[in-house]
Structure 1
């Protein structure tokens, strides 16, 4: 396997990890005022992702850095053509991080409601825009012979791209609701289970429609298989979320449900990359000449070789550390753990 193809697969893996992990905390952020009926319940919802959300964002930083080093042409064209959407994502993520920290600085209810709204905004905007962005990456954008983006903002807002944004938002809401059911106790857990059922049905319909349109436009055998598996995993997650637990009389099989939504998101993102390859950013203008591919967008073989050795050494350390973090904060929490 050529190093350029290897790094395409590694970047795909980084985005898979980012959407699976950041997906549930985007969903939790959007659900703060929905599932939290008072301040203590909202604090429970926020505390489920408190030790995790910043670590999840490392996957995005690493993916961006890997794109910059391994595929500089892809990085340059993508970040210049998608400048405004990516800037909105960055601002939303900054606002969300500030909201997590500043929400508890003052006791007034109005102060905390404003920061709760900031958490919702900072979670919903990236959840939607990432779907729009990846829909455009797969569908293609207008590029000239110099691989420069020649379109405008409204070229990125096609019905297909907006459907991609709605799909990721619905998937992340379902993923987040199931995560809350897995991590909380009492009434919040029960309400989260019910919300997961409702959001899950919407997400399933949108996912089937979006993946179907994607395959109609850019299909490969691998993309077809991965898309079908993603839909099956999402359906399995919804079934598991309805089944009673064998060990907990008050709960359902949230662990299996969460694994199902995680696999569904991972397989769906993988199917997009499988349909994209060997392109990294197709052009809608003279696609055979103007498209960016893993060959014409990559760095030199020597650069990719050095990067590969760095990844071999440091990637396992990062994964093991994050896995340890999840293990440490694995237990359920409820309002009984939140002081007045």
Structure 2
């Protein structure tokens, strides 16, 4: 295995980590409208991800930075061709971060309600658009002989990609509902489990259709194994959620995300961005990569820094591992 193959795998791992971690806090953001009945319950939901949401976004920065350094041609084509949806995601993430910090700065009802609306919409939109983006990457887009995107934004709104967006939105919402059940006590925990069952059933239908479509169109034996694992893990997550085993349910919903994203990257390799105009114009791990020397330096840096980041983030989750409920919410002081 050459270094450009290694970095394709590492970038896949970074995206898997991002969707696993940011997936549940996107889901919690969506649940502030679907699950919370009053302001204390909204505060409980936000507090479940308060200590970790910004750390989860580090995985996105790492994935983007690694793509830029390891596969500059892929980065250039992706960010120029997907400019509008990626800009919407970026703006949403910025507004969402500001909303978390500023929501409680003033006591007025309108002020807090507006920031809570921002958290909801700026969680829902990226959760949907990431699925659309990856659906298009796997399906293939209009890339010419100069490896430049020559389509328009409407070409990205095809049935396959939109279905991918619905899958990520519902899957992340299910993942978030299971996380809320794992992190809370009282009535909100019970209602989170009930909502997780309903959302999980919808997710299963959409995900099965999307993964089957992907497998029939571009799959091989390895992607078939990943698809079977994803479907089995989703069924197990639903079953353990019904049994009230929130820890196991969260673990299985995480395995679902890991296996599903792995399947997409397995169907993609050795391409990084296929051309729908001519297979000879596909961006691959070979023609889109940096020089071997650059990849070698990156490998050393990643080998040193990555374990430290993982240790720190694991410690953060351990420190904030306890459940919370409305009884833990004190009156705000302004």
TM-score (norm 1): 0.97
CA–CA distance in structure 1, aligned partners of residues 160 and 317 of structure 2:
36
Deviations 1:206-239 (A, max 9, x none): 0000001111111121111001100100000000
Deviations 1:277-319 (A, max 9, x none): 00000000111x1000000000000000000000110000001
Matched, 1:53 2:53: yes
CA–CA distance in structure 2, aligned partners of residues 187 and 106 of structure 1:
28
Matched, 1:228 2:256: no
CA–CA distance in structure 2, aligned partners of residues 317 and 212 of structure 1:
38
Match of residue 7 from structure 1: 7
The CA deviation at 1:37 is: 1.3
Match of residue 314 from structure 1: 305
The CA deviation at 1:184 is: 0.4
* Structure 1 gap ranges (5+): 244-251
CA–CA distance in structure 1, aligned partners of residues 276 and 38 of structure 2:
50
CA–CA distance in structure 2, aligned partners of residues 221 and 20 of structure 1:
24
Secondary structure of the equivalent of 2:57?
Answer: helix
Name the stretch that deviates more: 302-311 or 34-43.
Answer: 34-43
CA–CA distance in structure 2, aligned partners of residues 13 and 283 of structure 1:
24
Name the stretch that deviates more: 110-119 or 170-179.
Answer: 110-119
Q: How does 1:166-315 map to 2 (within 5 A)?
A: 166-243=166-243, 252-287=244-279, 289-315=280-306
The CA deviation at 1:102 is: 0.9
Match of residue 248 from structure 1: none
* Matched residue count: 331
* Structure 2 gap ranges (5+): none
CA–CA distance in structure 1, aligned partners of residues 97 and 173 of structure 2:
19
CA–CA distance in structure 2, aligned partners of residues 220 and 54 of structure 1:
36
The CA deviation at 1:113 is: 1.1
CA–CA distance in structure 2, aligned partners of residues 109 and 46 of structure 1:
17
Secondary structure of the equivalent of 2:272?
Answer: strand
The CA deviation at 1:38 is: 1.3
Match of residue 25 from structure 2: 25
Deviations 1:101-159 (A, max 9, x none): 11101112221111111000110010000000000000000100000001000100001
Q: Flag as ranges the 4+ runs of structure 1 deviating above 3 A.
A: none
Secondary structure of the equivalent of 1:104?
Answer: coil
RMSD, aligned CA: 0.6
The CA deviation at 1:40 is: 1.0
CA–CA distance in structure 1, aligned partners of residues 297 and 206 of structure 2:
41
CA–CA distance in structure 2, aligned partners of residues 35 and 112 of structure 1:
17
CA–CA distance in structure 2, aligned partners of residues 29 and 123 of structure 1:
5
